Amino acid sequence: MLESIELERTIAKVPDYPKPGILFYDISTLLMNTQAWAATVRRLADEIGQYKPDIIAGIESRGFLLASPVAIELTAGVQMIRKQGKLPGETLSHTYDLEYGHDTLEIQKSSALSGKRVAIIDDIFATGGTLSAATTLIRKQESVVVCSACILELAFLKGKSKLDAPFISLVQVTE
């Protein structure tokens, strides 16, 4: 199985993106590495599976890439959490603060989600704002957030303090 240190090596580091002083972790290189990608999906499915989710909710857009194969591994459904204005029909929304302003996430309103056990997944976890907003949206559907997960966590940003459900990360960057 691919160890955390090996997995981290498959993720590109792009300095000064999207603005000077930011080191961006780009999973595009991981996605192109068949062995690393398959191992990542299996590891996430193994970790998330212990919480027995009915639905895997992926956060736009790289979370979508993770949610689908993990859901197949776990025989679970998939729910999309998108940026404002991109989902048809009636939606629920939640606006949250970012370091540089505000953003809004939406989920399609559906009674089919009521009471479901949901795991939320994204690629990178930083300050916790997006994942916390996604958790709020899932709970607005009267669903239970059983856990959240990501490939890489920027642990030095201490975003986990914004979460109140179990959290899984395959790689932790501490500085």
State which amino acid sits at residue 119.
A
Residues 145 and 162: their CA atoms lie apart, in Å, by 14
Distance CA 121, CA 56 (A): 7
Take residue 66 and report the two structure tokens written for it.
């993770």
Of these residues, 3, 8, 60, 99, which one is catalytic?
99
Measuring CA to CA, how many Å separate 116 from each of 26, 73, 85, 142?
32, 18, 25, 8
Buried b (16+ CB within 10 A) or exposed e, 157-166: eebeeebebe
DSSP annotation string for 4-73: HHHHHHTSEEEET-SSTT-EEEETHHHHH-HHHHHHHHHHHHHHHHTT--SEEEEETTHHHHHHHHHHHH
62 is catalytic: yes
Are the C-beta atoms of 87 and 108 separated by less than 8 Å? yes
Of the residues 62, 82, 106, 153, which is catalytic? 62
Q: Is 3 a catalytic residue?
A: no
Q: Which residues are catalytic?
A: 62, 99
